[in-house]
A = this chain, B = another copy of it.
Amino acid sequence: MAHSSMDRPVLPFRILTLSGSLRAASSNSALLEAAAVLAPQQLQLVPYRGWGALPSFNPDLEGAEPAGVLAFRAALRDADAILIASPEYAHGVPGAFKNALDWVVGSGEFINKPVAAINASGRASHAQSSLLDTLAMMNADVVLAASLTVALPTNKLDCAAMLADAGIAAALGEALDALQEHLLSLGLSVNNS
């Protein structure tokens, strides 16, 4: 357990962040940027944006997956935990983001992987519960204490505005602390990459 070891530097946990929106001005992407700034020293947040370019999942391609799918799986494997922030489209998870998850159901990168899902809108309750259900079905280690909805006063806030908002910063801090606490409780070796 590297965190209690005295004879080498303590590396942070590697947290892969996935925004479920491809919009340039996405509130969920901004929320993850703000989280990266606020993260405690033991968490290193690393965004992964390549999922938007994945083709439609087709079970017939098992064993002949496109390179982007293999890169996505490798990025998930290399992470100690995953932090998702996803919007809601038409009462559901954005299809393109769910499509990325569909590519890793069979390959198993989410099995026992600590995952938290935060959410930038109080109205997105259908998608949030549906996403948590899908993650649980994939046997992810869903960290509910770190999975919370951050109510935004408007959907026009960028990362700087979120950092300047005490309520948002406090909610993010709470989620990050809960995620870190969970990882420490598992006695994970730090940085398995």
Contact (Cβ within 8 A) A133 B138: no
Contact (Cβ within 8 A) B102 A94: yes
| CB of A112 within 8 Å of the partner chain | no
- Give the copy number: 2
| CB of A3 within 8 Å of the partner chain | no
| CB of A23 within 8 Å of the partner chain | yes
Bound: A94/B99 CA distance, A: 7
Chain A residues within 8 Å of chain B by Cβ, number: 34
| CB of A22 within 8 Å of the partner chain | yes
Contact (Cβ within 8 A) B96 A102: yes
Extra 8 A-B pairs, beta carbons < 8 Å, given A89-B98, A95-B95, A130-B130:
A53-B56, A57-B89, A57-B94, A92-B93, A95-B98, A95-B101, A98-B99, A99-B99
A-B contact pairs, 25 of them (CB 8 A): A22-B56, A22-B57, A22-B60, A23-B58, A23-B60, A52-B56, A54-B56, A57-B94, A57-B95, A89-B102, A90-B138, A91-B137, A92-B93, A92-B133, A94-B98, A94-B99, A95-B95, A95-B97, A95-B98, A95-B100, A95-B101, A96-B96, A98-B99, A99-B99, A126-B133
